[in-house]
Amino acid sequence: MLGSPPVELDGLLAREKAKGDAGEVIGSPQPGDGPLERVLAVGIGDGTPAALRKAGAGVARRSKSAASLAVDLRQAGLDAAGVRAFTEAALLASYGFTRKEKPEPRALQTITLVVSDAKRLQPAVDRAIAVARATAAARDLVNTPSLDKTPDWLADAATTLLKGLTVKVRDEKALAKEGFGGIVAVGQGSTRPPRLIEASYEPPGGSKGGKPHVVLVGKGITFDTGGLSLKPNEGMLAMKTDMGGGAAVLGTLRAVADMKLPIKVTALVAAAENMPSGSAQRPGDVIRQYGGTTVEVLNTDAEGRLVLADAIAYADRDLKADVIIDIATLTGAMPVALGKKTAGMFCSDDALAAQLSAAADASGERAWRLPLVEDYRVAMDSPIADLRNIGDPRKKLGGGSITAALFLREFAGGRSWAHLDIAGTGRSDADDDEVTKGGTGYGVRLLTAWLEALCASPKRKAA
């Protein structure tokens, strides 16, 4: 069907002054009564994965109202990484979420790739599908309004998403009994109690070649009002996104399992709703984190680090993780520093940081390493507890994303640890290449790419 050019392409491209820029799409109705309704030509720029993501997203968006799309990739000479990037982006750009009573029907049902070497490229396409599915699942979790999205709902959704894997959910009673004082304190202001979701994947036949046990920790605040340190309405509007890190680790685990990667991965989601009420924690309270560290809570809106601290300490003490990576919509300062398309990365281990930077570049989810400035650590000293949860605002110390990271580091027990602050990247204000408006699912692609790379090179152990 696609054997001969369906329209005179050269003429069309010249008429439209096509430049071939990545993502540029030129369309023409199919003349005559051929089988195709419309023919599109898409620019692939310099042919790098980044350019192919723009191309995949561009062509998928332009085809939204068609029932099916066939893409002839034979001229483009793509390798597996290129096909993966193109496919992943086309699928990701086709994502939609609606709660409209009468939504417009979603037209695009199938995308067919026409290649000359299907057998060789099939694994890349399979991985693209796994990652796009997992990202869509993460976006669904983020986009679900908090009216429905309670910590318990999130635990159920995780169990459904991760069918076939081991999922253990601790309820508020178990959390109190076992000493998860941060999750309990943040959750106690809500009528909808907190949960700790623990999901794990073990490869069929066990993990091979001395691969590290990786623990991914996600912030799962299902709504962040700030608690008694109440946010203004403006600041609260998008706070259903505050479980974006949790969604990312759940999505990543789904992708890892679908790809059957030979590595053991555990996902922890510390889920709570941060509400003000008569039972809420107060500024000035001192809480006891998992493992015993005491924290003076001077601002109840710095709640993410409190729930994460419990989960990180648990990953260290009980799971004895080889590598801990947490991901969280943690600080409003993050998008101020890096904008909305680059996450902040903090890392205690240079080798791990280099791996994560490489995975960020390869996957299209940008991250930039920021320093754990040792001199700023004193900002988190408390006169009455082991730590305080914010620096003294009167001192105008700045560096809020750094001090938050330094706080979390205290709980990692000196293990290889990284922290991704996705306060900016977790949500997008607009459709933008492969990202769609609303929850982005940021982290699924980056973390999956990192785990894939760990599995691909037998000697490259996380330090």
Give the residue numbers annotated as catalytic, written as ranges.
231, 305
| Burial zone of 234 (CB within 10 Å; 0-12 exposed, 13-18 middle, 19+ buried) | exposed
Q: Which region, judged by CB under 6 A, interacts with ligand BES, from 29-37, 43-51, 92-100, 327-335? A: 327-335
Is 310 a residue that touches ligand BES (CB under 6 A)?
no
Is 224 a residue that touches Zn ion (CB under 5 A)?
yes
Residue number with the shortest CB distance to ligand BES? 332
Structure tokens at 207: 């993990």
Element (H, E) at 112: strand 110-114
* Closest alpha carbon to 434 in 14, 50, 7: 50
CB-nearer residue toward Mn ion: 404 or 451: 404
Instruction: List, in order, residues 6 or more apart from 242 with CB less than 8 Å away.
Output: 219, 221, 222, 223, 224, 274, 304, 329
Count of residues that interact with Zn ion, criterion CB under 5 A: 4
Q: At what angle do helices 244-259 and 151-161 cross, to 10 degrees?
A: 10
189 CB neighbour count, 10 Å cutoff = 22
Residue 299 touches which of ligand BES, Mn ion, Zn ion, none (CB < 5 to 8 A by kind)?
ligand BES
- The partner residues of 230 in beta bridges, in order of sequence, read none
CB-nearer residue toward Mn ion: 27 or 276: 276
Is 390 a residue that touches ligand BES (CB under 6 A)?
yes
| Closest distance of CB 452 from ligand BES, Å | 28
Structure tokens at 133: 């599915």
The Cα–Cα gap between 117 and 339 comes to: 40
Amino acid at the residue 387: L
| Closest distance of CB 336 from ligand BES, Å | 9
185, 161 Cβ separation under 8 angstroms: no
Q: Which region, judged by CB under 5 A, interacts with Mn ion, from 294-302, 325-333, 373-381, 402-410? A: 294-302
Residue 400 touches which of ligand BES, Mn ion, Zn ion, none (CB < 5 to 8 A by kind)?
ligand BES
Instruction: List, in order, residues 6 or more apart from 160 with CB less than 8 Å away.
Output: none
Residue 250 touches which of ligand BES, Zn ion, Mn ion, none (CB < 5 to 8 A by kind)?
none
Q: Identify residues 189-228 at the interface with ligand BES (CB under 6 A).
A: 224
Helix (DSSP H) and strand (DSSP E) numbers for the chain: 14, 17
| Closest distance of CB 388 from ligand BES, Å | 11
Is 172 a residue that touches Mn ion (CB under 5 A)?
no
Binder of Mn ion out of 301, 433, 434, 452 (CB under 5 A):
301
CB-nearer residue toward ligand BES: 182 or 400: 400
Q: Are strands 323-328 and 416-421 parallel, antiparallel or unpaired?
A: parallel
Please give the residue ranges that form the binding site for Zn ion (CB under 5 A): 221, 224, 242, 304
The residue ranges that bind ligand BES (CB under 6 A) are 224, 242, 299, 301-304, 329-333, 390, 400, 423
Catalog residues that contact Mn ion under the rule CB under 5 A: 224, 301, 303
